[in-house]
Amino acid sequence: MMKLPHFLSKKATCNSHGQDSSYFLGWQEYEKNPYHETKNPSGIIQMGLAENQLSFDLLESWLEKNPDASSLKRNGESIFRELALFQDYNGLPAFKNAMVDFLAEIRGNKVHFDTRNLVLTAGATSANETLMFCLANPGEAFLLPTPYYPGFDRDLKWRTGVEIVPIHCSSHNGFEITESALKEAYTTAQKRNLKVKGVLITNPSNPLGKTISRAELNRLVTFVEAKEIHLVSDEIYSGTVLESEDFTSVYEVLIERNLQNSSVWGRTHIVYSLSKDLGLPGFRVGAIYSNDEIVVSTATKMSSFGLISSQTQYLLSEMLSDKKFTSQYLTENQKRLKNRHGLLVEGLQNAGIDCLKSNAGLFCWVDMRHLLSSKTFEGEMELWKKIMYQVGLNISPGASCHCSEPGWFRLCFANMSEDTLHLAMDRLKSFVESMNNDKRPVRSSRRRSLTRWVSKLSSSYKTESER
């Protein structure tokens, strides 16, 4: 088909979506040759996808015990017509009530939420973009601590025209958000003639896999208060922590500082989704919580471009209203996450690889700097390709997360079976051992054996990917 780009919009022909990032390219390579225990045992194992598949059985068990919810019935009577005709973009009242209660439960009921300040969106992607439309004009900027979720280049910038200015964080202090880093990012934006409208954080952090400390949150609140700018806290992983007490919401800090009647209270906004904590990304359930009436009103109007289906809202309102279930789910899910996290860390240690100390999320931030052929991002890409094609693991390079130090990678652990995780760690250990052997003088017979092993593995992947 003939392509006529001059007949299309600039948006259709620009290359600012971020789809060419190694983060997304890794997914594409995985899809060409996906691992399967029996059908494709030499395929690529997906460790670049932050999905929680550890607690599906708990959700399925609840559905079996509550058939009316999925059958669109109330007290045994069909409400199909009622739901099929519902199209109010304010959302089902029952679902909004259940959501604010669930948000409070995750936070140990230290923070309470009002349904009037809650806006429903089709996932956190939509929530973050909607907030950008509400808070900033094209060409204005938000500051983001690095490393950050690669999808933000799409979610925050692509359609809104908002710029991202990185807050460069360093491994020497565990990638802590420091006052000097905040000031440096703000100055950088000014030098680029960009008006800074706010700071956006993920808490717990993606990709670091750790919660933001109270000290950092206080530092952020003080900064945005002084600069009179917004603070957006993406708390999509707030229930995905290894211990309940690990997570502190930004609103908890505001309340502790008695800032409920201050201007910063209205300039602090939370983004949430059920994609991670309940493992329901396909349901496309997200939310914005804001104390600014204009933001809530505008975001609600904009939500008409991406509504949550009424049957999804009804089903989840029934599930989240079951307090016994939500309490048991959060407790058991944390237990399973902690166990799986421990298996990954142990597997990495057995392979001679360390990772950042973490307490949340579906991934670990892994230090492979000692495996780089050169301490550059070119060296990082070279290592990433070897791990992809020779080892058969799709992991996310630090460069895709805008990390300022080459050699860090994000590895996910909750989207696969325990056996698959063990296999992934065995593959990685063999690869590291082979690299270590290459660095030492070895007899020619051993070298030939190693070469044959790598060649055979690479050939296997190539053959599978061509099917």
Domain-terminating residue out of 271, 299, 321? 321
| Position 440 in a domain | no
Quick one: 313 and 334 in the same domain?
no
CB 411 within 8 Å of CB 47: yes
| Position 457 in a domain | no
pLDDT band of residue 243 (cuts 50, 70, 90) is confident
Catalytically annotated residue among 270, 276, 277, 353: 276
Catalytically annotated residue among 153, 234, 277, 292: 234
pLDDT score of 440: 62
Quick one: 91 and 50 in the same domain?
no
In this structure, what CATH number is given to the domain that contains residue 421? 3.90.1150.10
| Position 458 in a domain | no
- Whole-number Å distance between alpha carbons of 342 and 421: 11
**Is residue 149 annotated as a catalytic residue, yes or no?**
yes
- Whole-number Å distance between alpha carbons of 75 and 341: 41
Quick one: 298 and 185 in the same domain?
yes
With 70 as the cut, is the pLDDT of residue 179 above it? yes
With 50 as the cut, is the pLDDT of residue 249 above it? yes
Catalytically annotated residue among 45, 201, 212, 236: 236
CB proximity list for 415: less than 8 A, separation 6 or greater = 46, 47, 49, 50, 51, 52, 53, 362
Quick one: 268 and 313 in the same domain?
yes
Catalytically annotated residue among 149, 186, 272, 314: 149
Quick one: 406 and 305 in the same domain?
no
Domain-terminating residue out of 288, 321, 354? 321
Quick one: 119 and 31 in the same domain?
no
pLDDT band of residue 25 (cuts 50, 70, 90) is confident
**Is residue 153 annotated as a catalytic residue, yes or no?**
no
* 88 vs 2, higher pLDDT: 88
Quick one: 303 and 391 in the same domain?
no
How many residues are listed for the chain in this entry? 467
Q: Token digits for 276?
A: 């991670």
Quick one: 14 and 33 in the same domain?
yes
With 80 as the cut, is the pLDDT of residue 464 above it? no
In this structure, what CATH number is given to the domain that contains residue 241? 3.40.640.10
Q: How many domains does the chain have?
A: 2
| Position 447 in a domain | no
pLDDT band of residue 3 (cuts 50, 70, 90) is low
pLDDT band of residue 282 (cuts 50, 70, 90) is confident
Quick one: 109 and 217 in the same domain?
yes
262 φ/ψ sector (left φ>0, alpha ψ -120 to 50, else beta): beta
Q: What is the 3-state secondary structure (H, E, C) of the chain?
A: CCCCHHHCCHHHHCCCCCCCCHHHHHHHHHHHCECECCCECCCEEECCCCCCCCCHHHHHHHHHHCHHHHCCEECCEECHHHHHHCCCCCCCHHHHHHHHHHHHHHCCCCCCCCHHHEEEECHHHHHHHHHHHHHCCCCCEEEEECCCCCCHHHHHHHCCCCEEEEECCCHHHCCCCCHHHHHHHHHHHHHCCCCEEEEEEECCCCCCCCCCCHHHHHHHHHHHHHHCCEEEEECCCCCCECCHHHCCCHHHHHHHCCCCCCHHHHCEEEEEECCCCCCCHHHCCEEEEECCHHHHHHHHHHHHHCCCCHHHHHHHHHHHCCHHHHHHHHHHHHHHHHHHHHHHHHHHHHCCCEECCCCECCEEEEECHHHCCCCCHHHHHHHHHHHHHHHCEECEEHHHHCCCCCCEEEEECCCCCHHHHHHHHHHHHHHHHHHHHHHCCCCHHHHHHHHHHHHHHHHHHHHHHCC
Quick one: 179 and 298 in the same domain?
yes
Average pLDDT over residues 247-251: 96
Range of the domain at 185: 72-321
**Is residue 236 annotated as a catalytic residue, yes or no?**
yes
pLDDT band of residue 446 (cuts 50, 70, 90) is very low
* Residue-wise pLDDT tens digits, 95-154: 999 999 999 999 999 999 999 999 999 999 999 999 999 999 999 999 999 999 998 998
| Position 80 in a domain | yes
| Position 355 in a domain | yes
Q: Which amino acid is at 307?
A: L
| Position 264 in a domain | yes
